[in-house]
Amino acid sequence: MKHCSNCGNKLENNDLFCNNCGKSTVENNTSTKLNTKPKINSKTKLSVLICLVFVILVILSCGVLFRNDLMISYYIHKGNSEDTISTKISYYSKALQINYDTNLVDKINKSIADVDTDEAESILSSLDSVLLKKDLDKLYIIIYIKKAEENFNNNNYETTWLYLDNATIYGYDVEQFEYYNDLVKKSSDNYNTQTHITERIYVYKNGSPVYADESSNYYFIPDSDRRHLTSSELSCYDKDSLGFIRNEIFARHGYIFKTEPYKSYFNSMPWYIPNLYASGSVSSLNSIEKANVNLILKFE
């Protein structure tokens, strides 16, 4: 039972109009319904916002990945089409910086094997911050083994050993060298039949000129990297000779000298192999070398 809102007349529940005054009985309900706004739960708002953010992030990620894939494909294509090895490797390097791929590293390994050793060392310096250490070590091994093979084929057995020694720094096993057995035999035969050295390297000891023969392999002091020098033996040398003895320790590590006379002298030594990464700092030496350098400086 309901009543008319206008005159108070009693009405049936299903009456749409008042039978007394004619007033509509659904007006108030309709008005109420029209004025009533559904309330949105705050948790629902948060869920919608999270979903929206997620969708945006997915779209952005897909865009970045798509762009990266395009750039990688572009650099690889450019590298494959290049004839100049250094430029080819440069493109591969750019692709690696976007995504590190072992297939690209293999491409660099194969490419650098065809480059001249000096150029290869220059290329390696540009890859230092791109390649993983283990992959960079492999490249150094490729370069030094290639150089060792060249010297072996030219009968430069002592220099071959030096390049093999450099390769061992990066984890190479010298017994894996293709010509290892022949090298051991030929080095032994060469040592036993070698004639006296005609070019003599003079230093001043006790005020008199002396020279290094083949037994010292052109070193002032051949074992200064593994034996503590003494004050008594150093006191025999003049100041200039002491400078060569001290710098000889750094030259063993391949330090590149920029001033004379050390630059010309060590470049002429058959055992000297320049190393772009040799810092020339005392901290890079072993404990014996450090002690010897400090002792030599006292006499200089």
**Burial status of residue 248 (CB atoms within 10 A of its CB: 0-12, 13-18, 19 or more):** buried
pLDDT tens across 242-289, in order? 999 999 999 999 999 988 889 888 988 888 889 888 888 888 888 889
Say how far apart CA 221 and CA 272 lie, in whole Å. 14
Say how far apart CA 23 and CA 4 lie, in whole Å. 7
Q: What is the pLDDT of residue 67?
A: 64
Query: 199: alpha, beta or left, given left = phi > 0 and alpha = psi -120 to 50?
Result: beta
User: Which residues in the chain land under pLDDT 50?
Assistant: 28-34, 191-215
Q: CA–CA distance from 70 to each of 59, 74, 76, 244, 263 (Å)?
A: 17, 6, 10, 55, 48
- Segment holding 208, helix H or strand E: strand 208-212
φ/ψ of residue 66, rounded to 5: -65, -45
φ/ψ of residue 39, rounded to 5: -90, 130
Say how far apart CA 211 and CA 196 lie, in whole Å. 12
Say how far apart CA 221 and CA 216 lie, in whole Å. 8
Q: Where are the alpha helices (DSSP H) in the chain?
A: 27-35, 42-81, 85-98, 102-112, 117-127, 133-153, 157-169, 180-193, 231-234, 239-251, 262-267, 287-299
Q: CA–CA distance from 103 to each of 63, 71, 124, 153, 237 (Å)?
A: 24, 16, 18, 32, 56
Share of residues in the chain with pLDDT > 90 (%): 10
Compute the CA torsion angle 6, 9, 15, 21 (nearest 10 deg): -50
Collapsing DSSP to helix, strand or coil, 211 comes out as strand
Q: What is the pLDDT of residue 158?
A: 77
- Please state whether the predicted TM-score (pTM) of the whole model is above 0.75: no
Q: What is the pLDDT of residue 206?
A: 46
φ/ψ of residue 204, rounded to 5: -110, 120
Residue 35's DSSP bridge partners are none
